Amino acid sequence: MRNLLWKEWHEQSWKLGFACIVLGALALIGMRSRILADQTMAMWVCCLGIMLLPLLSSTGLVPAERSEGTLESLLVLPVSARKILVAKTVMGIALCVLPMIVAALASVLVTGNREYPASAMLGMYGRFTVASLYLFIWMLALTIHLPSETRAGALAMGMVIFWGLATAGFAEPSTPRSLAAISPLAPVYVYGSAFERCPPLVVMVLVPAVIAVILWNWACKRLTNLEGRP
């Protein structure tokens, strides 16, 4: 396992540095310049994060290796597909979480409590991070069989748009609230914003988590899919 993690780290660490710098700098500069209200600025940084990070990590972890041809070299080794995917998932999680932490710290350090309570700001970053983790799992599972990064990126982008619109649609009074729980973006929308009568916390946490686990297991099986190449 250690050697698998070492490999993923070496391959993806540049992305981690890049994302941390971009989000951190944006948060820093944005907050200092005060072109927008602190809360709005933070929300924009979070939105950039949730659109960039899951996509960057999921497309680079499997589709990129598949197109390069090195995935087969991995699958031929005496190691279960599950272990390979665990190492990749760990790296993906790091890629989704760490830059957000950097941006969150930068934001709080600059703004303190001046307009918006620090705890609320951290809460916002936190919710967006959880949502991007769920989104990452969704993207990983649905693009894992694709042989090209660009196709995977396109599909992932489509997913963000779809879930964004869908979750907004859940705000309609006629839709049952609990349905919103299946969306990976649920943590963002349902908590904090003016979303009356949101489902109980347990539901909001457990349902997406269960879906994520199911999707991840499904992804494991599809990782080894070589059927397309006789």
Partner 1 sequence: MSEQPVIEMRGVAKSFGKNHVLRGVDLSVPAGQTFAFLGRNGAGKTTTIRMLLGLLKPDAGQVRVLGLDPRFQQLEIRRRVGYVAEDQVMFGWMRVKELLAFIAPFYPTWDAAWAAELVNRFELPLATRVKHLSKGQGVRVALLLALAHRPELVILDDPTLGLDPIMRKEFLRDLVSYLQGEKVSVFFSSHLLYEVEPVADSVVILDHGRIIRQAETEDLRANVKRILAPADAEEILRGLPGLLDITRAGRQVTAVVETIAAARTVLAAANVTYQEIDLNLDEIFEAYVIGRKETSNAQPPLERVA
Residues near partner 1 (CB under 8 A): 2-3, 6-7, 10-11, 68-70, 72-73, 75-80, 224, 226-228, 230
For partner 1, give the closer residue by CB, 78 or 173. Answer: 78
Least gap, CB of 230 to partner 1 (angstroms): 5
Give residue for tokens 């310049």. 33
Q: How far is the CB of 18 from partner 1 (least distance, A)?
A: 17
- Burial of 230 from C-beta contacts in 10 A (0-12 / 13-18 / 19+): exposed
By C-beta, is 11 or 115 nearer to partner 1? 11
Reported residue count of the chain is 230
CA angle 50/137/169 to nearest 5° reads: 60
> Residue 105, Cβ neighbours under 10 Å: how many?
15
Q: What is the DSSP letter of 144?
A: T
Q: Which of 40, 70 has the CB closer to partner 1?
A: 70
Report residue 173 CA to chain centroid gap. Answer: 28
CB-wise, 196 or 227, nearer to partner 1?
Answer: 227
Nearer to partner 1, 79 or 209 (CB): 79
- Taking the C-alpha atoms of residue 3 and residue 45, their distance in angstroms, rounded to an integer, is 34
* CA nearest to 192, candidates 101, 107, 130: 130
CB of 73 to partner 1, least distance (A): 6
Minimum CB distance to partner 1, residue 229 (Å) = 9
Question: Cα dist. 116→37, 38, 80 in Å?
Answer: 9, 7, 48
Shortest gap between Cβ of 10 and partner 1 (angstroms)? 7
Using the minimum distance from each CB to partner 1, give the nearer residue, 173 or 228. Answer: 228
CA distance 116 to 63: 41
Q: How far is the CB of 11 from partner 1 (least distance, A)?
A: 7
